[in-house]
Amino acid sequence: MSKSKDETLSEEAKAYQQFQKEKETKRPVVKNCLKAFFIGGFICLIGQVISMFYVHFFDFTEKTASNPTIATLIFITMLLTGFGVYDKIAQFAGAGTAVPVTGFANSVISSAIEHRTEGFILGVGTNMLKLAGPVIVYGVFSAFVIAFVRTLFLNWSGL
């Protein structure tokens, strides 16, 4: 708080602010960042292992193995979310589980599980994409804008 605002506060308000500072929970930022980094990296490592599995055993190329790899990661996330395991991992790792595609899959599947008692159409169907819908819309729109700008640039520059 700035000094000018601090001077206008009553003694009771100043005492409350001091009390609040003393009771505020100290957050272990570095520890949380390291957990997120390593768990997120481990999820990506699992994705890389799955991708190499598809390349070596199913004769995919490195380029074509990405789609089945993502589908497999989403399927594994669906199972772990359904059994309640992914939520415990996410609680431990924080943003480390939200950044990869597994975090996106978890948000969709969690909404579907939460609203299944309301029926498939009005429950699961309408609520499943409440969180993920804007991500899809903005992702598709951003991809369109970038592709449009790239196309204009390539056509104008003659490359």
- pLDDT tens per residue across span 118-156: 887 777 777 777 777 787 888 889 999 999 999 988 887
Element (H, E) at 84: none
For range 73-98, the mean pLDDT: 90
Q: Report how many domains make up the chain.
A: 2
The mean pLDDT of 86-108, rounded to a whole number, is 85
For residue 6, what pLDDT is reported?
Answer: 59
**Which of the four pLDDT bands, split at 50, 70 and 90, describes residue 114?**
confident
| Residue 102, both tokens | 């597994």
Q: Which two tokens stand for residue 99?
A: 């950044």
Give the pLDDT band (50/70/90) at residue 115.
Answer: confident
The string of pLDDT tens digits covering residues 29-56 is 999 999 999 999 999 999 999 999 999 9
Domain that includes residue 38, residue range: 28-128
Q: Are residues 89 and 156 in the same domain?
A: no
**Do 103 and 158 share a domain, yes or no?**
no
80 within a domain of the structure (yes/no): yes
Rounded Cα–Cα distance for residues 115 and 133 (Å): 16
Could you tell me if 122 and 136 lie in one domain? no
Same domain, yes or no, for 152 and 110? no
Q: In 83-131, where does DSSP find H-type helix? A: 85-93, 101-114, 126-127
Looking at residue 25, the DSSP 8-state letter turns out to be P
- 70 shares its domain with 92: yes
Contact 94, 40 (CB under 8 A): no
Tokens at residue 133, please? 């819908």
- One domain, residues 35 and 101: yes
76 with 142, same domain: the answer is no
pTM: 0.69
